[in-house]
Amino acid sequence: MTISAEQLAADREKLRQALIEFAVRRGRVTLASGKESDFYVNAKQISLQGDPLLWTTRLLWEKIAPSGCEAIGGLTLGADPLIGALCLYSAQVGQPMIGLIIRKEPKGHGVQSQIEGPFRQGLKVALIEDVTTTGGSAIKAGTVIERAGGKIVLAVSILNRREGADKAFAEIGWKFDSLFVRSDVDAQSFSF
């Protein structure tokens, strides 16, 4: 299943508008990175709705498919719906991928795993993140994968806030890309 450039451009604009309408807010908040900001993006407002999730999945797939990865992984919770959607989509387009959900801490019972999914040594993984600020969440997930014997081939997010992630990924040698940057959605954001 090939998506035309015109369809991808339409998906991108619809997703941008959905981010502005549902996910982007102004108001003082503390981010996962610990930084305070007056610009907040809750991309789960997008990834937990049918049409926006479909647009997101197709756009992320265009970035992931050429990478040679075999799996899609990320830190729970923001990456969970994206990983599920991408695994389903990858099977539909004939390039099935494995999904890996990385726990913030090892499980406290059973085999105490931190990686959920059919992980194996040498697996090439694309990291997925909903919103990237400093890159800390994706780096945490990727470090768990690499310590277990996997290989990170790229990291991709829906939105790059442009607050240090680019530099952090470059310093560890991971390719990084995003569907949008803050300036794509900032001008029209609403208050809490």
**Tokens found for residue 101:** 């959900």
Tokens 């081939």 appear where?
153
**Tokens found for residue 23:** 């996910």
pLDDT (tens digit per residue) in 96-132 = 999 999 999 886 666 668 999 999 999 999 999 999 9
**Tokens found for residue 186:** 């900032």
Say which range, 26-35, 82-91, 158-167, has the weakest mean pLDDT. 26-35
- pLDDT for residue 108: 67
Whole-angstrom distance, CA of residue 76 vs CA of residue 33: 15
- pLDDT for residue 141: 96
Q: What is the DSSP string of the chain?
A: ----HHHHHHHHHHHHHHIIIIIEEEEEEE-TTS-EEEEEE-THHHHTSHHHHHHHHHHHHHHHGGGT-SEEEEETTTTHHHHHHHHHHHHHTT---EEEEE-SS--SSTT--SEES---TT-EEEEEEEEESSSHHHHHHHHHHHHTT-EEEEEEEEEE--SSHHHHHHHHT--EEEEEEHHHHSTTPEE-
pTM, to two decimals:
0.92
Q: Which amino acid is at 97?
A: M
Each domain of the chain, given as residue ranges in start order, spans: 5-191
- The fold for domain 5-191 equals Rossmann fold (3.40.50)
Q: Which of the four pLDDT bands, split at 50, 70 and 90, describes residue 187?
A: low
**Tokens found for residue 155:** 């990291």
The pLDDT of 69-76, averaged and rounded, is: 97
